[in-house]
Amino acid sequence: MTTEQTAGRMARRCGIVSGTGRRGGTSQAVARRLVGEGASITTVDHDPAAEGFAKELQASHQARGMGGDIRAVIGDLRDPSTAAEAVAQHAEEFGGLDFVVNVAGGSSPGMPMTVADTKASHFEVMMETNLLTAVNLTTAALPLLRETPDRSAVITFGSVNGSAGWGFALEPAYAAANGALASWTLALAAEVKRHGVLCNHIRPASIINPHSPTWAQRLDDPAVRHHLRALYDPFGFITAEQIASLVVFLLDALSPPITGQEFVIDCGIGRIGTRDIREDGRWYLPLNTDCPNE
């Protein structure tokens, strides 16, 4: 099998992806897709499971004769030294840096659902987990990204939680951290555009993970399952693989030079409402469920 037959759209490009410790999560789907398209990547996660994932993925692609490659760095990106180490190891292994995809983040168990119950400590945890991890990794990577001969790219991941139009957003601290990350990404895009660095932010709604105990619990409850299906009708649940396809599109050197944009992946719920199948198929905007939008 020749190189031309096996090379994908990301061949000869390399980058860093945060996360990959969570089985079935978005970061693993992104890593699989990038390596499958021929990219060489370094993953960074505090969970040692990320190393096992990298070795498994590397072995499977070598066995099939694919061109992609993967390494893992285990460490906490809330610490700037971890970010610096990951960038240094990546540069030594692969010789350059074309992109950084900041997927690591999320909420935490027990995070308050109301403003009244949310304390300063909750904001600190969410900012460290969702904003600081991306800031540390991207800041460490910027010198190499600026030096890339062709255009390079930064992608950050947030959530629709806290986005305009999502009137039923919960967890104020998590929503605030997502808003901060989106604003920081826009500021970064403006600053590094002249260096040929593209910066975009992805805000997905709930992404189904078949390996997640939380998702299993949700889907075992008929009422919750009914509600979720109504939200995403008629397209079905959003999957990590679909999000990975968007990431590859944004990183592909042949794609248009898109920068400074937010990609809200929610089946249109935030802008055009959702069909509530319990009310004769009428359409509702989430900000005002008393006024049907026929």
Whether residue 42 lies inside any domain: the answer is yes
C-alpha dist (Å) from residue 73 to 38, 62, 154, 157, 248: 20, 20, 19, 20, 22
What local confidence, expressed as pLDDT, does residue 280 receive?
A: 44
Let me know if residue 44 belongs to a domain.
Answer: yes
The answer to whether residue 284 is domain-embedded is: no
Which pLDDT score is estimated for 60? 85
Q: What is this structure's pTM?
A: 0.86
The answer to whether residue 285 is domain-embedded is: no
Is position 128 within any domain?
Answer: yes
* The pLDDT value given to residue 70: 94
**What is the Cα–Cα distance from 33 to 239, expressed in whole angstroms?**
13
The pLDDT value recorded for residue 226 is 72
Q: How far apart are CA 268 and CA 285, in angstroms?
A: 10
Range of the domain at 13: 3-212+232-275
The letter for the amino acid at 57 is L
Which CATH number characterizes residue 180's domain? Answer: 3.40.50.720
Residue 172: predicted pLDDT: 87
Q: Is 45 helix (H, G, I), strand (E, B) or coil?
A: strand
Q: Which pLDDT value is given to residue 273?
A: 65
Could you tell me the mean pLDDT of each successive run of 10 residues in the chain, 294 residues long?
Answer: 56 92 84 94 94 90 76 96 97 96 87 89 94 97 94 94 62 90 97 97 81 63 72 78 95 93 85 55 39 28
Tell me the pLDDT tens digit for each residue of 167-179.
555 788 998 999 9
Within a domain: residue 152? yes
Instruction: Tell me if residue 176 falls in helix, strand or coil.
Output: helix
pLDDT score recorded for residue 282: 43
CA-nearest of 55, 47, 64, 1 to 31 is 55
- pLDDT value for 254: 87
pLDDT recorded at residue 94: 95
pLDDT of residue 215: 60
Q: Which of 230, 146, 248 is nearest to 192 (CA)?
A: 146
179 lies in a domain?
yes
- Rounded to 10 degrees, what is the CA torsion of 43, 152, 176, 263? -100
CA distance 146 to 154: 11
Q: What whole-number distance in Å separates Cα of residue 226 and Cα of residue 277? A: 9
Whether residue 122 lies inside any domain: the answer is yes
Q: Are the beta carbons of 173 and 106 closer than 8 angstroms?
A: no
Contact yes or no for 43/31 (Cβ under 8 A): yes
Separation CA 104–CA 249 (nearest Å)? 20
Place of tokens 């139009």: 165
What was the pLDDT predicted at 156? 97
Give the number of other Cβ atoms within 10 Å of residue 231's Cβ: 18
| Structural domain count, the chain | 1
Length of the chain: 294
